[in-house]
A and B are shown apart, each in its own frame.
Chain A
Amino acid sequence: MEVQKQLLSILVDNEPGVLSRITGLFSGRGYNIESLSVAETTDPKVSRVTMVTSGSPPILEQIQKQLNKLINVIKVIDLTGQEYVKREMALIKVNAKPDHKAEILRITDIFRGQVLDVSQEHFMIMVTGDTSKINAILNLLKPFGIREIAKTGCIALSRG
């Protein structure tokens, strides 16, 4: 069966060990996590986990059911196929030789990125967007020499 992606927004008790219950479920049952991000919500007792998973449709169904079965999971929202907004952020440290600086700034501008830090030899650039936008800027910056990158996983909320 064909492998699909699934974007889940999961509300969980903000307690020690909850994340390991979730990741343990995935490793124990051989499910895929493509990205994961977690933070507290406005209610300090609740955290939101945003997760991209992949698998065949029956596996995706099992993933949701198994997550719901965890005692610390309050709600599993499947955003796939819904109206939602999603973002990722990347911090990119790129080599910036004097004669490349203008070009790098121009690219950053096109992608509505921001330069957060500058030294003699490099820029640190922040971009947000979806995965393809971030991949696009990474491709454009690659020829200059990317030293390091840090990416958040995907975060998302339903519209309306």
Chain B
Amino acid sequence: MKLKGAQILLKMLEEEGVDTIFGYPGGAVLDIYDALMDSNIRHILPRHEQGGIHAADAYARATGKVGVCLVTSGPGATNTVTGIATAYMDSIPVVILTGQVPTPLIGNDAFQEVDIVGITRPCTKHNYLVKDVRCLAAKIKEAFHIARSGRPGPVLLDLPKDMINSTATYNPLGDVRMKSYNPTYKPNIRQVKKVAELIEKAKMPVIFSGGGVNLSLGHEALTTLARKTRIPVTGSLMGLGAFPGTDPLWLGMLGMHGTYRANMAISECDLMIAVGVRFDDRVTGKTDEFAPNAKIIQIDIDPTSIQKNVPVSVPVVGDCRITLELLNDLLEQMDRGKIAAKHEAWLTRIEKWKKSTPLVYDQKETIKPQFVVEKLYELTGGNAIITTEVGQNQMWAAQYYHFNRPGQFISSGGLGTMGFGLPAAIGAQAGFPDKTVIDIAGDGSIQMNIQELATAVQYNLPVKVAILNNGFLGMVRQWQELFYDRRYSSTHFSHSPDFVRLAEAYGAVGLRANKPEEVEAVIEKALATDKPVVMDFIVEPEESVYPMVPAGAPINKMLLV
């Protein structure tokens, strides 16, 4: 069957199971957009390409499918770069399709030409410039394979206009085989045995789980491991949701804004079982003093993550879910009851830390941002999909909402991209039209992609935005307060829009709470509305996030309230 490149592209997308793409048209992709009119794929038009790529990314985070973003050449392509880097840092499977000028013009500084393959080389898992339409189908298939397998990540395909317009015979393809790319899923069983032996010996073990557990859907195996052996669990920001946030074995998040007990447990433990984490500096603090008494086991599908930042006693290369399942099998043959019993003294000690130094805030006359998050948790029954912006809002969301499943907490962890939350909420809502999706936002971040309210309204995606409006770039202000003598250089907004009227101008619903007693009613009203809603919570301007580990300090040296 002879088909045009644009038709081959859409056929391949359908074959890969793509039902939704987020895209923005332009000259170089006119032919693809024309073919889209005859396709069943749903196309969502954001108001900025950055919105499109974040939405595709969050669609992937929420559904576990590969997200797809389509943009034109030049500025369309460069507008996606922040979003590509965001997905790359958090290992999210996204395929980005960029238009490109016709092949004879490449290299001529043609109108809207940019070397997007060159620009995105360091922030994609892989990328391609497809010059020959006869290779198109195979490259698309390869791109999806690479994006979703191994340690997932974004893959970009640059598609010159003349290639998309030429024809080739289309034949269905078999499975992808690449001699240079074969991720290791099954771990070396000898290493897993060593892990089991160390667990048997440990008196004060801790599980530290990360994004890899969520990505591999290893949450059930992780929960089994922890509950059967009674090992407490902490997690990185990306690891939230992999273990029930309501379980007594859950210690809360680790690191710079981790809970006291999580940071203390890691600092005192004799064995750390690190699963799907990469020991980011926001988690380890000063690496020399990180978990000084512990043997560290590190399980990860990406060999480069192992031993990169901290030395490890037992490295295990493999898929987190598969490895944890094998480990559970091994432990089942041992005396798990006896192993569990050995940890009671340790758990009691942790319980004391929890009692002595819990997460706290003091709700007085002005609304405390933590109070808003707690109310959101209560009133959604802990079931909403939460996206966040970046800054204090993100940390309070992580501390005060408790997550119970992968894909429930959607946040830009590695890159810390302000402006992520609203388009991410749109992407998640597109994947789950019937679930409650809430963007916990800051007044700064929300203005970075606020235009996407129009997208939410146009496609009836009833996302809820909860702005923790402190009138500040709060997280930066917090650092200035603590480490720069309260010199608030360029972090105060002396002017902000009226978010309620802005929401209404976009056709969404705007609500505001000025006092603590109004918070509940505003949330209830928002949750009962089947349209996009912006809730403007006027919160304590100078509230800070605690505990806090100053950058570069050991994680047991926390600043507390």
Contacts and interface: CB of A to CB of B under 8 A. Distances in A.
A24 B180 contact: no
A17 interface: yes
Contacts of B536: none
B180 A71 contact: yes
A65 B118 contact: no
Nearest to A67: B304
B357 interface: no
A69 B302 contact: yes
Contacts of A74: 179-180
Nearest to B304: A65
B179 A21 contact: no
A25 B126 CA distance: 13
A68 B303 contact: yes
Given A61-B307, A62-B304, A65-B304, A71 B181 contact: yes
A13 B181 CA distance: 12
B121 A20 contact: yes
A24 B121 contact: yes
B154 to A, nearest CB: 13
B486 interface: no
A66 interface: yes
B302 A72 contact: no
Interface string A14-41: 0011001100110010000000000000
Contact of A71 (B118, B126, B129, B304): B126
B307 A24 contact: no
B180 A13 contact: yes
B303 A65 contact: yes
Interface in A112-154: none
Interface in B114-145: 117-118, 121-122, 125-126, 129
B178 interface: yes
Contacts of A98: none
Contacts of B146: 71
Given A62-B304, A65-B304, A71-B178, A24 B125 contact: no
Contacts of A96: none
A58 interface: yes
Given A69-B304, A71-B146, A17 B117 contact: yes
A52 interface: no
B307 A58 contact: yes
B155 to A, nearest CB: 9
B10 to A, nearest CB: 25
B501 interface: no
Interface in B77-133: 117-118, 121-122, 125-126, 129
Looking at A13, A21, A68, A71, the one whose CB has the most chain B CB atoms below 10 A away is A71
Among the interface residues B146, B180, B181, B307, which one has the most CB atoms of the partner chain A within 10 A?
B180
B308 interface: yes
A51 interface: no
B185 to A, nearest CB: 16
Sorted nearest first, the 3 A-B pairs with minimum C-beta distance are: A71-B126, A74-B180, A65-B304
Given A17-B117, A20-B118, 7 more contacts: A17-B118, A24-B121, A68-B303, A69-B304, A71-B181, A72-B180, A75-B180
27 contacts: A13-B180, A16-B129, A17-B117, A17-B118, A17-B121, A17-B129, A20-B118, A21-B121, A24-B121, A24-B122, A58-B307, A62-B304, A62-B307, A62-B308, A65-B303, A66-B304, A69-B302, A69-B303, A69-B304, A71-B126, A71-B178, A71-B180, A71-B181, A72-B180, A73-B180, A74-B180, A75-B180
Interface of A: 13, 16-17, 20-21, 24-25, 28, 58, 61-62, 65-66, 68-69, 71-75
